[in-house]
Amino acid sequence: MNKDNTNNLQAHSYLNFCKTFFELRTVENHLLLLEELMDLITNEHACSKKMIHADAYIIYQFYTELFELAFQFKQHLDKEHAHISICVNTSYLEYEKQRFTYTFQYLNQQELINPLLALSFLKEEIVTAYKSTLYEWMGQLLNHNTENCNGKIYFPLYHNTRKLIELSWLIYNRVLEHQAIDKPMAVRRFEDTCPLLLVRANQLDPYLEVESFFNGASLGYYKFELRCWFKTALTENMGVEKHGNLIYFHNQLIQLLHAGYLIVTNNIKYISTTHYSSTGETFKDWINDIKGQKIEEGNGIPGSYEVNVLSEAEIGNPLFYLKQILTLKRIEEIRYGLQEWIYCAFNGNSSIATMDAKYVFNLYEELEKILEMLFLLIAGEEAGKN
């Protein structure tokens, strides 16, 4: 995301207006007020209800300003090409839905992903007509009159006002979220000082970390590295030559565990929107392309992308079984076990053979399964499906 674009967005008067608008009422209360307003305007039996003149004027002023500033905001986005700051991919949208307390009623899936689609109706002539109609609304509210109700414009205005209220709330909160990502995170807890803590973007979409991990090497390569490390830690008088490589692999696994924990805790489904190559649109496509190339070359590399440890049930539902493993209690044991593996691999006189089985063979088998399950989440049969 371009920081300059984000700063421009944050400084825009539309966002300042949104702040005031949603501090005055929640998005739910704004929509409820609009329902009551429409009832007063179109229902002659509701005309007996009184509305204070000042309230009618405030509603008119707020809605007029909402349409005018949203229109300017859209022009700003089009001119500055800054729309990426308020667009998300499908995986992040699923996370966002769980985090938001409000459930959207008037925006569809594609508009939630790309709010520019929902702003497309804001053309100068339409905004002018809507502002004129809002003035008529105010007059009718003040006079308690439904005779001039024009359904041809009243109901489209009503529909688009509902949509714009939801949309404004979404954009405002999304920009605030991007602002938080761009700012250095304040250290609130001791564990936040850990150098292996996932970057903010990968905490919000942990599949980015999983993609990055398997983009670096094949599943088979990582299992081979794990097996070598386990064998070295298990066998006395056997050590590693390149300590830095092992430390790096250890750190990768810790970050992968963090990503996996976030995925299972928030029940996030992976839907790829990243293009990996000219022929493969998703990570799975890219992997299949590589496998196909290796088969044509006649070497054994394709096996590096095969899952051969998991049971049929685990292959069929990797997320379910990953949840059984990645509990905080077990992650704590896994991290302790890996620390001991590091120590014994570096010290030829030590071995993990004397430790409890949950830190030795059980841990090795679990780590293999974790690698395969996370790989399946982004490259398996169900990966990328809605």
Continuous segment of H or E residues that includes residue 23: helix 13-24
Q: Does residue 384 belong to any structural domain of this protein?
A: no
* 146 shares a domain with 100: yes
Amino acid 134: pLDDT: 84
Range of weakest confidence among 139-148, 193-202, 278-287: 139-148
Q: In this predicted model, which residue has the larger pLDDT, 220 or 76? A: 220
Amino acid 130: pLDDT: 87
**Rounded distance, CA 184 to CA 200, Å?**
9
Q: Does residue 90 belong to any structural domain of this protein?
A: yes
Range of weakest confidence among 89-98, 217-226, 369-378: 89-98
Domain boundary among 182, 202, 224: 182
Q: Residue 247 gets which letter from DSSP?
A: H
Question: With 80 as the cut, is the pLDDT of residue 281 above it?
Answer: no
Q: In this predicted model, which residue has the larger pLDDT, 369 or 290? A: 369
* 195 shares a domain with 129: no
Question: With 50 as the cut, is the pLDDT of residue 175 above it?
Answer: yes
Question: With 60 as the cut, is the pLDDT of residue 50 above it?
Answer: no
Range of weakest confidence among 76-85, 132-141, 197-206, 224-233: 76-85
* 241 shares a domain with 293: yes
* 161 shares a domain with 201: no
Q: Does residue 385 belong to any structural domain of this protein?
A: no
Q: Does residue 386 belong to any structural domain of this protein?
A: no
Amino acid 152: pLDDT: 53
Tell me the pLDDT band of 40, cut-offs 50, 70 and 90: confident
Amino acid 180: pLDDT: 53
* 311 shares a domain with 162: no
- Of the chain, the percentage scoring pLDDT greater than 90 comes to 30
Q: Does residue 37 belong to any structural domain of this protein?
A: yes
Number of compact structural domains in the chain: 2
What mean pLDDT, rounded, does the chain reach? 80
Question: With 80 as the cut, is the pLDDT of residue 114 above it?
Answer: yes
Residues of the domain holding 23: 3-182
- Read off the pTM: 0.56
* 67 shares a domain with 25: yes
Amino acid 215: pLDDT: 86
Amino acid 8: pLDDT: 52
* 285 shares a domain with 177: no
- The DSSP secondary structure of 309-367, one letter per residue, reads SS-HHHHH-HHHHHHHH--HHHHHHHHHHHHHHHHHHH-TT--GGGS-GGGTHHHHHHH
* 331 shares a domain with 281: yes
* 243 shares a domain with 291: yes
**Rounded distance, CA 125 to CA 117, Å?**
18
* 36 shares a domain with 106: yes
Range of weakest confidence among 52-56, 78-82, 100-104, 121-125: 52-56
Mean pLDDT of the region 120-133: 89
Question: With 90 as the cut, is the pLDDT of residue 334 above it?
Answer: yes
Contact residues for 301 (Cβ-Cβ < 8 A; gap 6+): 218, 220, 290, 291, 294
Tell me the pLDDT band of 98, cut-offs 50, 70 and 90: confident
Amino acid 382: pLDDT: 56
Q: Does residue 212 belong to any structural domain of this protein?
A: yes
Q: Does residue 127 belong to any structural domain of this protein?
A: yes
**Rounded distance, CA 51 to CA 47, Å?**
9
* 18 shares a domain with 98: yes
Chain segment 10-38, per-residue pLDDT in tens: 447 888 888 888 888 889 988 888 888 77
Amino acid 325: pLDDT: 94
Using DSSP, state whether 273 is helix, strand or coil. Answer: coil
